[in-house]
Structure 1
Amino acid sequence: MSKHPTDLVTKPAYLAIDGAVAVLTLARAPVNAIDDALLDAVEAALKEIERNDAIAVLRIRSDQKVFCAGADLRMIAGRLGTKEGPAEMVASVRRFHMVFARIVAMPVVTVAEIEGHALGGGLELALSCDLRIATHDAKLGLPEANVGLIPGAGGTQRLTALCGVGIASRLILSGEVVSGLEAQALGLVQWAFPAANFGATAGAIVERIAKLSPEALREAKNCIHLAASLNPAGLAAEIHSIGKLMHRPETVRRVAAFIAKSGG
């Protein structure tokens, strides 16, 4: 893919533009854990795309072994048990909301290309896209309750709007992680394919979309979003809940246990 002269090549994410297709690649080793620097890089890429009227499709992918592991738990752990921690975490969650809402509002069609796993904030990132494509063996879920938190970056709201109360309750309240193949059956992703040649398969879908009328896509996307508008009160409740849970000893214990178990 030829690169646009104004490509953002700074890790932890970089942007490449080829005609009507923009590719935003997450590149924060080893698992694209989301911190302020990654959000900065994503937001900078979105601004670049918004300035380019020739772009019709944004493809979000990863060059790591997973799509995105979610919020950086070390960042969260560093804020637990401190006086300023809950307020700092609420500020970070607001930033997540702001960046993900910007993806939702993009005038182009947005496609999340999920290999490996998309968990917690990683799935919430994918849920902010119009379309999701996953490998059969990808792992998707919102398991925040395991560490005493909730999906606080739009997950409770967007998953419910997408799949209904029943499926959202199943995944969020049980912490279940499903495969890409099962995610397709649940309506969580629109396509699931074998891992072999996945990039080329996903790319073919993106190219097909890129050949459609950009004006028609923008108008259709706007109409779809009007039909599926989220309740602002629900999004605000997520942010409030994160701040409340950051004060809980149970959350401190569970986050520490998870980090210890994962070798952090």
Structure 2
Amino acid sequence: MSQGTGKAKGRWCYKMAHMFNAGIELTFTGDNIAILRMRNGENRIDRIFTEAFNKALDTVERNSDCRALITTAEGKFYSNGLNLDFLKGKERYLFGLLCLRVLTFPVVTVAAINGHAFAGGALLALYHDFRVMQTKRGWISLNEVFIKAPLSGSMPLIRAKLSGRASHDLAVLGKRYTAEEARDYGIVDVASSPEDLMSSARSLVNQYTSKQKYDRDTLKAFKEDLYREVVDAYSSLMKSRL
């Protein structure tokens, strides 16, 4: 399986795809970037999704040559958030643990947001190191305020990553942002045309990984230190479940 033409073709040559439940597919490019694609319509998040996503992350970690992870999807949605039954159920914490794993993942991570990223879908993207969002289609929004779903576990992350006005309007008021607006407010790093979305994500990866290799244990430890308030918040939530 390959993607791209001309000089780009070699960079996008893929090795065998790994298929998981919930429409999650993982491939590795010829230059050792993992591409995780969500291929299940709205990509609603539930137990099956979190288990499949974690298995894909396990596969990335087993590949010692892999230098970065790009997550993306197909169609109108990056992810439309949590399945409502999962949101209201006792296993919702599994999504929080997945987000924490993404936040402290031992390679560089980029969310290539191809369409709408609402609620838990937007949160999942925010837990990556970087975000690229395509123009012309899609909003990013934390609309939990409208469905009375608390963001308590993720508020430290939002405070750490976003400035005052953006964090207030996104997390408190549930404002929707286009790619250009999200870039201007620092919610995403790059607003890209749809046809250049993956190339833009790759460019971000190469800015940080083309000339040096990160030791995975060190990178994970530095992420944990930088986001200590987030890590501690999740530790407290897990202790409260015991």
Q: Is the contact made by 1:33 and 1:71 (CA closer than 8 Å) also made in structure 2?
A: yes
Per-residue CA deviation, residues 18-69 of structure 1 (Å, 9 max, x unaligned), is: 24200000112x2111111111111001111111110011000102321111
What secondary structure sits across from 2:111 in the alignment?
Answer: strand
Match for residue 14 of structure 1? 25
Counting aligned pairs with the same residue, the percent is 22
How far apart in 2 are the matches of 1:188 and 1:35?
25
Question: Please, what TM-score do these two structures have when normalized by structure 2?
Answer: 0.81
* Number of aligned positions between the proteins: 226
CA deviation digits over 1:77-125, x for unaligned, max 9? xx5xxxxxxxxx2x32210111111112221000000121111100111
Q: Which of 28, 39, 43 in structure 2 is aligned with 1:27? A: 39
Please state if 1:67 is matched with 2:66: no
Q: CA deviation at 1:204?
A: 3.7
Equivalent positions of 1:13-162 (< 5 A) are 13-18=24-29, 19-28=31-40, 30-76=41-87, 89=89, 91-137=90-136, 138-151=138-151, 154-162=153-161
Against the structure 1 CA distance between its residues 179 and 238, is the aligned structure 2 distance closer, same or farther, given a 3 Å change threshold? farther
1:200-228 deviation digits (Å, cap 9, x = unpaired): 33334334544231226875674455234
**Whole-angstrom CA distance in 1 between matches of 2:216 and 2:187:** 21
Query: What pairs with 1:169-248 in structure 2 (closer than 5 Å)?
Result: 169-215=168-214, 219=218, 222-223=221-222, 225-232=224-231, 234-235=233-234
Write the mapping of 1:161-172 to structure 2, written as runs, cut at 5 A.
161-172=160-171
State the distance in 1 between where 2:168 and 2:238 align.
Answer: 19
Q: Does the C-alpha gap of structure 1 residues 121 and 237 become closer, same or farther in structure 2, counting only changes over 3 Å?
A: farther
Alpha-carbon displacement from aligned partner over 1:105-153 (angstroms, at most 9, x marks no partner): 221000000121111100111111111111234311111111121236x
AA in 2 matched with 1:10: F
Query: Structure 1, residues 171-226: CA drift from partner, whole Å, max 9, x if none?
Result: 22211111111111111111112334333333343345442312268756744552
Provide the rounded CA distance (Å) in 2 between the counterparts of 1:197 and 1:42.
25
Determine the C-alpha separation between the residues in 2 that align with 1:67 and 1:144: 17
Name the structure 2 match of 1:258. Answer: none
Query: 8 Å contact 2:141–2:174 — kept in the other structure?
Result: yes
* Residue number in structure 1 paired with 2:8: none
Larger Rg: 1
Q: Which consecutive segments of 4 or more residues in structure 1 shift more than 6 A?
A: 236-240
Aligned AA for 2:159? T
User: Aligned letter for 1:182?
Assistant: E
Q: What is the alpha-carbon distance in structure 2 between the residues aligned to residue 237 and residue 217 of structure 1?
A: 26
| Distance of 1:225 and 1:113 partners within structure 2 | 23
Check the 8 A contact 2:100/2:127 in 1, yes or no: yes
* Higher RCO (CA-CA < 8 Å; seq separation 6+): 1
Aligned 8 A contact 1:144 1:150 in 2: yes
Q: Return 8-17 or 219-228, whichever deviates more.
A: 219-228
CA contact (8 A) 1:26 1:64 kept: no
